[in-house]
Amino acid sequence: MKKGQVLGLIEAMKLMNEIESEYDGVVEAILVENEEVVEYGQPLFRIK
C-alpha cells in the first residue's frame, strides 16, 4: 500500500468518508469489524 491509498470507508452522519493511509507499508492487522461503531482517534489499522 502507498501513502494516500484508500484503506476503507467510514460512514458519519450519512456521509461516506474515505480513510487514506498516512504511510507506505503493509496492513498488518485490521483492528475493527465491519459496521462496528468507532470513536474519533481510535486505531483502525496496524501498518508495518
**Each residue of 1-48: pLDDT tens digit?**
899 999 999 999 899 999 999 889 999 999 999 989 999 999 999 999
**Residues whose CB is less than 8 angstroms from the CB of residue 28 and which lie 6 or more positions away in sequence, other chains included:** 46, 47, 48
Whether residue 1 is contained in a domain is answered as no
29 touches 46 (CB < 8 A):
yes
Whether residue 18 is contained in a domain is answered as yes
Host domain of residue 28: 6-47
pLDDT attached to residue 1? 87
Q: How many domains does the chain have?
A: 1
Whether residue 11 is contained in a domain is answered as yes
Whether residue 35 is contained in a domain is answered as yes
Whether residue 30 is contained in a domain is answered as yes
Whether residue 21 is contained in a domain is answered as yes
Alpha-carbon torsion 34, 41, 7, 9, what sign?
A: positive
Angle at 30 between CA 13 and CA 33, to 5 degrees: 50
> Does pTM top 0.85 for this prediction?
no
Gap between the Cα atoms of 36 and 48, Å rounded: 23
Whether residue 17 is contained in a domain is answered as yes
